[in-house]
């Protein structure tokens, strides 16, 4: 069998010497025609492979270049150098894949994040992105583990849909019609009856509405899949394609919803703290060095590990939207006109700068804001008795602002239909959604967590494009 290798991470955890092993990986560095720093992606820590002088041909040695793939069999010995306990004394060497050192873009030096985005097909080979994607994997695993332990069912909702759950209209259209010769109606609009699905369709912006259908029969479900927004936004916080986690729970109100969301965030943070400490320590050091270049007022008060432990170890602050507006209105930051968007009062949509102020400056902990004005929220949110607000909630995290958005859903048919008409959402197209309010309606709630923002929060990466393998943003779909 070709693959009888041991992974470097597993090998480095052993402390026995004298046994023969086979390792495979990519060369990070090769010095003195003798010492190979080998990495296979299982850990940021390289394994030192020692080639005995005169034991390998010059032709073989010339092919050991940065990022060349090699297979080494050798004996585990105690390392004579600093920084590692063991190394491999090679007895055989095979070059699996050459790498031209003159053309390989990622030389052993520091590269800018922008340069690495332009070489996203290779950036996994750096320590930073190795750590980010190992943490991302653990977070994804922890998501499934959390909901499975609570008895939720994992639901796969459609990628192609005819509905716009958010009503924002920022949709990627899906069609098989010829772009330059589509059949038109008498009013000049495209006749989608000729299209594959016989109607206008788009990539999903959310699996929520379909999730509600399942929750009102199965009790508790969650979705975890890609969602799409055709929002022409070139910021460090937005992607056109991103992953969403959306649980929906029957027999739940807003408080139940907040409880589950807070428990969920703490659970997945605890999981990576326990299982990815090496990667988190590396990312924490990287973030600390990055923040040294920032003005003092823009630096985080807590290091990455301290921030994660603080979130895990403290209850989230819960305040109403009205209370949040009052705090922001009366704060010195607003009075000194330091907000880009001044606080005008009840009814305004909070911006990221307001959310971060509440979290980072005022409460200095994650914050849950609830009971938002109905005018700035979606049609499906349950209307409160005051006639002004809906049972919605957002969870705000330090560094990035909103990380979770959710609500108790409007289960009362008449209230829901009235609200949809007010917001010009066609009830006839969502007949299937309204049916759940006709046949055994129950109080139910749910939330959505943008997975990339959570990965950003946990890894300390400042740009959301650096926590997804191949970011999709305006004018960028290279890979």
Q: Which pair of tokens denotes residue 316?
A: 């989230």
| Residue 21, strand partner residues | 74
Q: In the block, which residue shows the tokens 């929060």?
A: 457
Residue 321, domain member (yes or no): yes
In a domain, 380, yes or no: yes
Residue 120 included in any domain? no
Pair (187, 53) in one structural domain = no
Sheet holding 220-228, edge to edge: 153-154, 220-228, 241-250, 444-450, 401-409, 389-397, 367-373, 317-320
Q: Is residue 166 part of a domain?
A: no
Structural domain includes residue 322: yes
Nearby residues of 254 by Cβ (< 8 Å), 6 or more positions away: 370, 382, 391, 392, 393, 407, 408, 445
Same domain membership, residue 199 and residue 230: no
Distances (CA, A) of 56 to 19, 21, 71, 92, 141: 21, 18, 14, 9, 43
> How many residues does the structure list for the chain?
479
| pLDDT given for residue 446 in this prediction | 98
Query: Average pLDDT, whole number, for the chain?
Result: 93
What kind and span of H or E run contains 416? helix 413-422
Q: Which two tokens stand for residue 277?
A: 């400490």
Check whether residue 292 and residue 393 sit in a common domain: yes
Q: State residue 166's pLDDT score.
A: 66
Percent of the chain with pLDDT over 90: 80
All residues at 6 or more sequence positions from 398 whose CB lies less than 8 Å from its CB, including other chains: 300, 302, 307, 311, 356, 359, 360, 366, 457
Q: What is the pLDDT of residues 120-130, one digit of tens each?
A: 999 999 999 99
Domain count, the chain: 3
Q: How far apart are CA 65 and CA 454, in angstroms?
A: 37
| 284 and 189 assigned to the same domain | no
pLDDT exceeds 80 at position 87: yes
Same domain, 182 and 300: no
Q: Tell me, what DSSP letter sits at residue 121?
A: T
Q: Residue 399, by phi and psi: left (phi above 0), alpha (psi -120 to 50) or beta?
A: left
For residues 15 and 48, membership in a common domain is answered with: yes
Express each pLDDT in 308-322 by its tens digit: 998 988 899 999 999
Q: First vs last Cα of the chain: how many Å apart? A: 33
Answer whether residue 111 is part of any domain.
no
- 360 and 377 housed in the same domain: yes
In the DSSP assignment, the letter for residue 476 is: B
Average pLDDT over residues 102-127: 92
CA-CA distance, 246 to 226, in Å (whole number)? 11
Nearest to 310 by CA among 405, 407, 399: 399
Give the pLDDT of residue 63: 97
* 358: CATH: 3.30.930.10
- The residue range of the domain holding 180 is 171-204
- The closest of 201, 196, 205 to 223, measured between CA atoms, is 205
Residue range 266-291, pLDDT digits in tens: 999 999 999 999 999 999 999 999 88
338 shares its domain with 435: yes
Q: Are 319 and 258 in contact (CB under 8 A)?
A: no
Distances (CA, A) of 202 to 143, 167, 240, 299, 309: 27, 13, 13, 41, 40
Burial (Cβ within 10 Å: 0-12, 13-18, ≥19) of residue 184 = exposed
Do 235 and 192 share a domain, yes or no?
no
DSSP state of 46: P
Q: Rounded to two decimals, what is the model's pTM?
A: 0.94
Do 138 and 180 fall within a single domain?
no
Residues 190, 67 share a domain: no
CATH classification at residue 75: 2.40.50.140
Is the pLDDT assigned to residue 238 strictly greater than 70? yes
Is residue 201 predicted with pLDDT exceeding 80?
A: yes
- Residue 118 falls inside a structural domain: no
**Predicted local distance difference test score (pLDDT) of residue 88:** 96
The model's pLDDT over 368-385, given as tens digits with 9 standing for 90+, comes to 999 999 999 999 999 999
Q: Is 151 left (phi over 0), alpha (psi -120 to 50) or beta?
A: left
Domain assignment of residue 447, yes or no? yes
Whether residue 345 is found in the same domain as residue 425: yes
């Amino acid at each position: 069998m070709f693959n009888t290798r041991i992974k470097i991470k597993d090998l480095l955890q052993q402390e026995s010497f004298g046994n023969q092993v086979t390792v495979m990986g990519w060369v990070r560095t090769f010095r003195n025609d003798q010492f190979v720093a080998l990495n296979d992606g299982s850990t940021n820590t390289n394994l030192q492979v020692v080639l005995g002088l005169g034991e390998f041909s010059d032709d073989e040695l010339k092919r050991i270049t940065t990022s060349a793939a090699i297979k080494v069999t050798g004996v585990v010995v105690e390392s004579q150098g600093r920084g590692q306990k063991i190394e491999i004394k090679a007895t055989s060497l095979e070059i699996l894949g050459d790498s031209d050192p003159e053309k390989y873009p990622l030389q052993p030096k520091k590269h800018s994040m922008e340069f690495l985005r332009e070489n996203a097909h290779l950036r996994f080979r750096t320590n930073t992105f190795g750590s980010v994607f190992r943490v991302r994997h653990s977070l994804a695993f922890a998501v499934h583990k959390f909901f499975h332990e609570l008895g939720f069912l994992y639901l796969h909702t459609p990628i192609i849909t005819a509905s716009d759950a958010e009503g924002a209209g920022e949709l990627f259209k899906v069609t098989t019609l010829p772009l330059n010769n589509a059949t038109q109606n008498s009013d000049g609009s495209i006749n989608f009856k000729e299209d594959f699905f016989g109607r206008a369709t788009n990539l999903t912006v959310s699996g929520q509405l379909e999730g509600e259908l399942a929750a009102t029969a199965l009790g508790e479900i969650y979705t975890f899949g890609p969602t799409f927004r055709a929002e022409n936004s070139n910021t460090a916080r937005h992607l056109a394609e991103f992953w969403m986690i959306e649980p929906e729970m029957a027999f739940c109100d807003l408080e139940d919803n907040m409880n589950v969301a807070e428990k969920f965030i703490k659970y997945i943070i605890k999981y990576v703290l326990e299982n990815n400490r090496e990667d988190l320590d590396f990312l924490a050091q990287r973030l600390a060095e990055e923040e040294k270049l920032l003005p003092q007022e823009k630096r985080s008060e807590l290091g990455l590990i301290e921030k994660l432990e603080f979130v895990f170890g403290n209850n989230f602050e819960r305040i109403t939207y009205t209370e949040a507006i009052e705090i922001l209105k009366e704060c010195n930051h607003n009075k000194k006109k330091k907000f880009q968007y001044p606080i005008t009062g009840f009814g305004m949509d909070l911006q990221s700068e307001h959310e971060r102020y509440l979290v980072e400056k005022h409460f200095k902990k994650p914050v849950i804001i609830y009971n938002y004005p109905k005018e700035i929220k979606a049609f499906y949110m349950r209307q409160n008795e005051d006639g002004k607000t809906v049972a919605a909630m957002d969870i705000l995290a330090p560094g990035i602002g909103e990380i979770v958005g959710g609500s108790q859903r409007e289960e009362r048919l008449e209230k829901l239909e009235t609200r949809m008409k007010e917001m010009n959402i066609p009830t006839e197209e969502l007949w299937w959604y309204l049916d759940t309010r006709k046949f055994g309606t129950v109080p139910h709630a749910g939330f959505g967590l943008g997975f990339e923002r959570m990965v950003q929060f946990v890894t300390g990466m400042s740009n959301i494009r650096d926590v997804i393998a191949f970011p999709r943003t305006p004018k960028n779909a290279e890979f």
